[in-house]
Structure 1
Amino acid sequence: MQHAPNPSAFQQHAAAWRARAIAALHSNSSLSVRLARYNSAMARARSLEAQEVANA
């Protein structure tokens, strides 16, 4: 029997990815690299948020 994931765990994980996305914008890299890292991290955060809604 599998347990349902903890909803707050999804929220915390998504918040961590959003923070990582913001940090990517402030990194010392080229604009294209910063944007790619930001978009990747935000896509991950949105995916986690969607999983939270689907499991609610």
Structure 2
Amino acid sequence: MALLRLSSVITCSLSGRAAAHRAMAKAALFADSSASTRLKRYNHHIEKAQQLEASALNNAKRSAGGMA
């Protein structure tokens, strides 16, 4: 029986949240707002997605290092 590691669950959760922020970034481009507001929202969500992806990558590396 395979054990589900907490770090694996966290990584999936972070990746899912990053994907949600990328979707929100794309939606921001088509919102009924001024161009500057749309760009600000887009940049905010892309930045957040990048932070979450970096956290997910760090968790995956830490998890892989702990299995040796």
Q: Same fold (TM over 0.5)?
A: yes
Residue 34 of structure 1 pairs with residue 50 of structure 2: no
Number of aligned residue pairs? 54
Q: TM-score, normalised by structure 2?
A: 0.74
Gaps of 5+ in 1: none
Equivalents in 2 of 1:44, 1:37: separation in Å?
11
Which letter does structure 2 place at the counterpart of 1:32? S
Q: TM-score, normalised by structure 1?
A: 0.88
> In the alignment, which of 37, 49, 53 is matched to residue 49 of structure 1?
53
Q: After TM superposition, where is structure 1 displaced by more than 2 Å over at least 4 residues in a row? A: none
Following superposition, the deviation at residue 8 of structure 1 comes to: 1.3
Gaps of 5+ in 2: 1-5, 61-68
Helix, strand or coil: the match of 1:40? Answer: helix
